[in-house]
Amino acid sequence: MRSPFKLLILIILSCLSVRLFQLQILKTNYYELLSEKDRLRREVLPAPRGRIFSREGKILAESRPSFSLVIDPYQVDSIEILQLSSVLDMKKEAIYKKVKPHFRTSCIRRVSFSEISRIIEEQEKFPSVREITEPVRYYPCDSVLSHLLGYTGEISDDGLKNPKGTYTYSKGDIIGKNGVEKSYEQYLRGNKGVSYVEVDVRGRVVRRFNGGKESAPEKGLDLHLTISKDLTLYVDSLLKGFPCAASVAMDPKTGEILLYYSKPGYPTNKMTAGIPASEWDSLRGREDAPLWDRIVCGEYPPGSIFKIPIAIVGLEKNVLNEFTEFQPCEESLYIGDRYFRCWKKHGKLRLNDAIIQSCDIFFYQLGMSMTLEQMIDGVKELGFEKQCGIDLPGERKGFLPSRDWYNQKYTSRGWDRGVLANLAIGQGEILITPLQMVTFFSGVANGGWTFTPHVLKEIRDKKGKIIKIPHPKKIKLPVSTATLDLIKKNMGKVVNDSKGTAYRSRLQEVTVAGKTGTAQNPMGEDHSLFIGFAPLRDPEIVVFTIVENIGHGSAYAAPITTKIIKRYLSKHQKGQNEEDLIGINSE
């Protein structure tokens, strides 16, 4: 009886010994890993984005430390969310929206120091919440440069499904959503780090480890832009009294964008923080369209500024020369079944005076001397109705109507040569963006050569070494030197001849060339436009300005533009060529 019992005990002890040997010796590593998983927590450390500087070296965007709360969506319950709602003064529905079951982690950003302190003091009430410090984007100029810089925000589900490049994104990652932040995301984003912390049974951090598996986050690269912050703030002061406007400037010799200002802007710092849905809907619904970038997306009738490309097409197609005379301007011209009017009675003019005095009657007749194909194809050859290729998202290409388009809209009998007359003065269905304007006239100012516009000057690494510079494409306008010289001379007289439409906006310090424009607006008052460049003989800056719903180009956009030119040249030009100040009225 005793022998079987002893044998049974021996068998049981043997089995236990084998099992203990298996658990403690053979599977040591396996259970050690399980233990470490419960005890150790892997934390991803977000990387600060690279800074963005102006051409003067002033900060336009930087990352600043901010408190955030990370919530485990698999552990958090309704009671904890209710308590969070009370501490953060945040609706529980908004927290529920953040905490979704398919999220790996959920993050509430920009939490105040007092709120963080209270949560730490009452940690036992928030076992699913941990506090972290992470970099948050800050824009010193806020809405003034919102369309240029853009903003950052959490990556969307679509962004996760369609990643760009080889970089791996996770739910909750911060990315560039618009502007420079979006265009240069791959350089600005940096590389995330990893750390390990030991936690107790309640999930509270006991200590941090500094072993071989940890890695520090790597800051993103710094961007230096071509934009002048000083000039931008000056333009903002000039346009303070106007609700909607835009101004863009380019260096005609390089394609560098010196000024990029679209008004109104939107609050970039609020957008980065996570703007409430109600405020977002309000921005989207506003009549003045603050989310609309007027520089690359604004498609406007160009008004009388378009007389310059029309004159170039007419000269290059041998439709006229500088001595051609049409029917005298008697302030109106009967075309089809109605009168087409001019802003004043000019009498008999040649091309030179028609440009200087912006005579509509002359250009009505020039437009009707061409076919629609001659006009539109000629303008397309000058670069219109195509994207300029700027290194910013969302650029539009404008619109130029074709014969098929008119036939489809009005039928072949529903339109006549009056359409050509209207297009020749920049009215009707033609639409041009401010960026197209400044790019084309940079080519006129620069002797027929223009460049792909760009806002990036250089990218530098953490040691300050330049690792990337833009290589803009150089483009030749299909225009003869004789035609360009004639156009430049007359654009100089628009501003400096006593009969010129922008004479009141001339500068004593430098000879500015330009062209006024007044674009009819079916939704309200006319838009005021002006394009100008200086110094006339060797231009260093080309500026286009539009002020919406205000009136004539000579009254508003022209004086603002010449002030911008004066400001820029006074800060960037050491000396003044005397030839730029004499002889303009003697020819």
Q: At 175, which CATH number? A: 3.90.1310.10
pLDDT tens track for 8-29: 787 787 777 777 777 667 666 6
The whole-number pLDDT of residue 34 equals 46
Q: What is the mean pLDDT of residues 384-404?
A: 96
The whole-number pLDDT of residue 546 equals 97
Q: Residue 208 burial by CB count (10 A; 0-12/13-18/19+): exposed, middle or buried?
A: exposed
The contacts of residue 445 (CB under 8 Å, 6+ apart) are: 252, 488, 513, 533, 539, 542
- CATH number for the domain harbouring residue 496: 3.40.710.10
Structural domain includes residue 15 = no
Structural domain includes residue 356 = yes
Structural domain includes residue 97 = no
Same-domain check for residues 490 and 420:
yes
Q: What is the mean pLDDT of residues 301-317?
A: 97
Mean pLDDT of the chain: 86
The Cα–Cα gap between 100 and 400 comes to 48
The whole-number pLDDT of residue 209 equals 63
Confidence of residue 274 (pLDDT cuts 50, 70, 90): confident
Same-domain check for residues 218 and 234:
no
Same-domain check for residues 111 and 209:
yes
- pLDDT for 36 beyond 60: no
- pLDDT for 410 beyond 90: no
Q: Which helix (H) or strand (E) segment is 138 a member of?
A: strand 129-138
| Closest by Cα among 366, 327, 381 to 349 | 327
The whole-number pLDDT of residue 167 equals 66
Structural domain includes residue 113 = yes
The whole-number pLDDT of residue 169 equals 79
| Closest by Cα among 460, 128, 68, 96 to 272 | 68
The Cα–Cα gap between 470 and 587 comes to 41
The whole-number pLDDT of residue 518 equals 93
- pLDDT for 451 beyond 70: yes
Read off the DSSP letter of residue 458.
Answer: E
Structural domain includes residue 22 = no
The whole-number pLDDT of residue 424 equals 96
Structural domain includes residue 2 = no
Q: Work out the number of other CB atoms within 10 angstroms of the CB of residue 446.
A: 23
Same-domain check for residues 167 and 238:
no
The whole-number pLDDT of residue 86 equals 79
Read off the DSSP letter of residue 145.
Answer: G
The Cα–Cα gap between 325 and 338 comes to 23
Same-domain check for residues 263 and 202:
no
Same-domain check for residues 216 and 246:
no
Percent of the chain with pLDDT over 90: 60
> Token pair of 108, please?
């509430």
Structural domain includes residue 64 = yes
Give the range among 266-275, 436-445, 463-472 with minimum mean pLDDT: 266-275
Confidence of residue 316 (pLDDT cuts 50, 70, 90): very high
Give the range among 8-17, 187-196, 395-404, 469-478 with minimum mean pLDDT: 8-17
Q: What is the mean pLDDT of residues 478-507?
A: 96
- pLDDT for 577 beyond 50: no
- pLDDT for 194 beyond 90: no
Q: Work out the number of other CB atoms within 10 angstroms of the CB of residue 269.
A: 18
The Cα–Cα gap between 207 and 202 comes to 14
pLDDT tens track for 121-154: 887 778 777 777 778 899 999 999 999 999 998 8
> Token pair of 307, please?
């007389």
Same-domain check for residues 197 and 238:
no
* Peptide bond between residue 302 and the one before it cis (omega within 30 degrees of 0): no
The whole-number pLDDT of residue 584 equals 37
Structural domain includes residue 19 = no
The whole-number pLDDT of residue 35 equals 52
- pLDDT for 587 beyond 60: no
pLDDT tens track for 110-126: 777 888 888 878 877 78
Same-domain check for residues 249 and 204:
no
Q: Which residue has the higher pLDDT, 5 or 305?
A: 305
The whole-number pLDDT of residue 155 equals 83
- pLDDT for 581 beyond 70: no
pLDDT tens track for 69-109: 777 776 777 788 787 887 877 787 777 777 765 445 567 77
Q: What backbone phi and psi angles, to 5 degrees, belong to 176?
A: -75, 130
The whole-number pLDDT of residue 580 equals 45
Same-domain check for residues 260 and 114:
no
Domain end: 223, 246, 281, which one?
223
3-state SS class at 430: coil
Q: What backbone phi and psi angles, to 5 degrees, belong to 518?
A: -130, 110
The whole-number pLDDT of residue 460 equals 92
The Cα–Cα gap between 513 and 562 comes to 9
Q: Which residue has the higher pLDDT, 26 or 371?
A: 371
Confidence of residue 563 (pLDDT cuts 50, 70, 90): very high
Q: Give the number of domains in the chain.
A: 2
Q: Which helix (H) or strand (E) segment is 543 a member of?
A: strand 541-547
Same-domain check for residues 435 and 361:
yes
Q: Say what angle helices 113-121 and 78-88 make with each other, to 10 degrees.
A: 140
Same-domain check for residues 388 and 422:
yes
Q: Work out the number of other CB atoms within 10 angstroms of the CB of residue 91.
A: 11
- Which stretches within 449-509 are classed as H helix? 481-496
Q: Which residue has the higher pLDDT, 118 or 289?
A: 289
Same-domain check for residues 238 and 151:
no
Q: Which helix (H) or strand (E) segment is 182 a member of?
A: helix 179-183
Q: Which domain holds residue 203?
A: 42-90+103-223
